[in-house]
Amino acid sequence: MTLREYLNQAFYIDGLIRSNRLEVERLRALISVTPGSDLTKPLIRTQAQKRYLENTALKIAALEAVIQAEIDDLLELKKRIRRIINAVDNAKLRLILHKRYIELKKWHEIANEMNYGIRRITQLHGQAIAIAEEAVKKHCLLFPYEPMI
C-alpha cells in the first residue's frame, strides 16, 4: 500500500459512515410511516406490526453500533495521518495535506481557500507526498502501511 492509498482510507471510512447514517435515516423513516408506529396513541397493533417495529429498531441499533466503530476507526486513522503530516517541514505543504486528509476537502475547495488553481494545488500536494514519504521512511512513522478498512 502506498502512502497515498493509506491517506485516502479516510475518505473511504468517511463514505461508509455517511452511507450508514443514510441507511439509519431510511430505517427511521420506515418506522415513522408504519401504521401504528405512533407509540403515543393507543392503537391495537397486530403481532406482525409489533415484530416489524422491533426488528427495525434492532437494525437501527446495530447499524448505529457499526457507525460508532467506524467513527472510532476514522479518529484513529486521522491520528496516524496527523503524525505523518506533522513530519512535513513546510507549513504550506502541511496545510494542503491537512485540508485534504484531515478535513477531507475536495481539490477545488482547497484551491479556493488557498487562492491557487487546482493544478498548482495538486502539484504542491505531490511535493508534500514526496516529503511525507521520505519522513515516513526516515522516522519509521508508519511501516508497513496498515490498512484500516
Domain residue limits at 65: 3-139
Mean pLDDT, residues 78-87 taken together: 94
Note whether residue 42 is domain-resident: yes
pLDDT tens readout for residues 51-76: 888 899 999 999 999 999 999 999 99
* pLDDT value for 138: 83
For residue 144, say if its preceding peptide bond is cis, omega within 30 degrees of 0: yes
- Residue 112: pLDDT band by 50, 70, 90 thresholds? very high
The candidate with the shortest Cα–Cα distance to 36, out of 45, 27, 28, is 45
- Per the model's pLDDT, the better-predicted residue between 34 and 109 turns out to be 109
35 within a domain of the structure (yes/no): yes
Residue 147 lies in a domain: no
Structure confidence at residue 53 (pLDDT):
86
Domain count, the chain: 1
What is the average pLDDT score of the chain?
Answer: 88
pTM of the predicted model, to two decimals?
Answer: 0.79
Residues near 10 by Cβ (< 8 Å), separated by ≥ 6?
Answer: 74, 77, 78, 81, 101, 102, 104
Residue 7: inside a domain: yes
Q: Is residue 149 part of a domain?
A: no
Give the Cα separation of 18 and 139 in Å (integer): 34
